Structure 1
Amino acid sequence: MDRNSRIFVAGHRGLVGSAILRRLTEAGHTNLVIRDRSQLDLTDQAAVRAFFDREGIEHVILAAAKVGGILANDRFGGDFIRDNLLIQTNVIDAAWRGGVKKLLFLGSSCLYPKHAEQPIKEGALLSGPMEPSNKPYAVAKIAGITMCQAYRRQYGFNAICAMPSNLYGPGDHFDPETSHALPGMIRRFHDAKLAGAPTVTLWGTGTPRREFLYADDMADACLHLMDHYDSEEIINVGPGDDIAIADLAASIRDTVGYPGTLTHDLSKPDGHPRKLMDVSRLFATGWRPRVSLEEGLRRTYGWFLENAASAHPPASKQAAE
């Protein structure tokens, strides 16, 4: 992608999409195409095809998706599979029909089997049963990967697929009920601090291990892959190390400055016992993350205080616990 390439960032208002837009702007790209949901409904096939026919897009980074944590996946599985299938099918097909030179599709580490050998290599995809709590989302995303690979083989469409680890950073969704674990904990610790709640209760045992990648590092990896990766094989994107959820919670508590204690609701699910990906394929291309988890948490909480802390204030001390 040169600086004049016409690049469509699908999902530019989300966590990853907004970081990609920042990174492209910083790199001097001046021909960026963005549309919010009111301007272009990606679930509308006719609208998406007309958009690509009209706009002359050269490159696509497909970061648009319906995402959420364990609770959201459990409650809204139908929405997750329907919306993601529609979005990715419409965009991938219209991009190919519209003569797009290259498309990057984003999957997720949660697509891998629940008990995949650690660290998880790319070849583990579809080698065992999925984690049930996010199966609708995972099935949709795996369909998107398969579609990219099939279009490459049949039509010669240059589509690549990246598998990010857990992502966090500025622009994240901080609702404690429907967000992913890390931003949800930031919200709950912050609310508990304001309410003077003595305890914050977290789901599960705290023993599962996850790897976390700062959103701006993910954006940098996306641009790197667009310039340096051209294979139908999926590629993992992450820092290459992980942390126990209990230790993550302690780090977030310290970042927020919450003085209370942590307890665990053992009746709630843990999800995958561990999700550490093998990122040797990515690192071999010359890319490395830049932002440590400690620094990323500090930046994310700072953004939260400036942009999201006033949203959905806790109604009571009990609500923060």
Structure 2
Amino acid sequence: MEWELLGIILTGLAALSLLVFQIPYSIPHPLGARQGRENRFDVLRGFAMVGIVLIHIHSYFQFFHPADQIVIRTTLFFSNLSRFSVPLFILTSAIFLRKKDGYWISKLKNLVLPYTLASGFGYLVKYNHYNALEFIQFYFLGKVFAPFYFVPLLIQFYLLFYLFDKLLSNKLFSKSLLLISFLLNLSSNLGFFDSILPKEYHAISILNYIFFFILGIYIGLSNEEKANQNREKSLIFGTFAILFFFFLILFSFGYFVDFKNHHLIYPIFIFFGIWELLPKFNRKISDWISFIGNNSLFIFLLHPFIIHMMHSVDPYTFGGPVIGYIVTLVLNVGIPIIIAFTIQKGKSLYRLHHSDER
């Protein structure tokens, strides 16, 4: 609650600063002027995917070395720093969402089928006693591995859009829906719905992330505007970045608070902050992070297997806490990326072979 309230206060101050200095801010648009899809959203997803891995690495280090306070508080800092990840995935998933022919076919093929295979295999790997009813429960609640809850959550949003696309895509109601969704999300974060909703549903409740989904749709509907670059806006962003960074250190190292995934303000601040910084990124680095974003499903579904198997190995055996942290990150991102690259290369060769035969 303290972090949520702090974020709302800082956002209010930032909005007031923009108003006083009369600095307009253009909403990022999903389409480039002449380049088609804006690839910066893929870069954002890449950052989010790496962030999800960092969150789980903290749990991994805490499992082996709970008494090593300096290391654990440092991994907690990187975990808290990454708490924008799931909201950012929800937001970017909504931006390009359109109801068209094959809507559910693509979702079943590209999301549900891989999730089903990963859940089935993961259940066999992780648990010793098998129970069909337990697996069904774990499958629909995304509990086979901790991060799998994201898939049932995302499917609910896809269903919500499919049923109410005309309302959600109507520009006439977009700002009203944003306000309503913000209030619903805030109420959920404060626990107002905990006694109403079933306890098992809390982790996959769409009310925890409804604002990010509606904001994504809003951005997807926005008109393309030329970004306004000026010194005052950069100064305001820089000031509030320093403030957020300071409080991240305070909460992580001082109060030892483990943030939730669905705080409202911090993910939105990170989203707009990274958006402003992306044009200044090295092109090669941006391409690599974009590749991670494009293949995030592979990392999302395979990384839990890797981190689960690594729980039989002390991370310090890789060369101490620092090297161990880096190796853990590289393995959990790199192995799924190699698998993704191999599969994509195989598909390309297969298509090339069949085109030659014709």
- TM-score above 0.5, yes or no: no
TM-score, normalised on structure 1? Answer: 0.27
**Greater strand fraction, Structure 1 or Structure 2:** 1
**Greater helix fraction, Structure 1 or Structure 2:** 2
TM-score, normalised on structure 2? Answer: 0.25
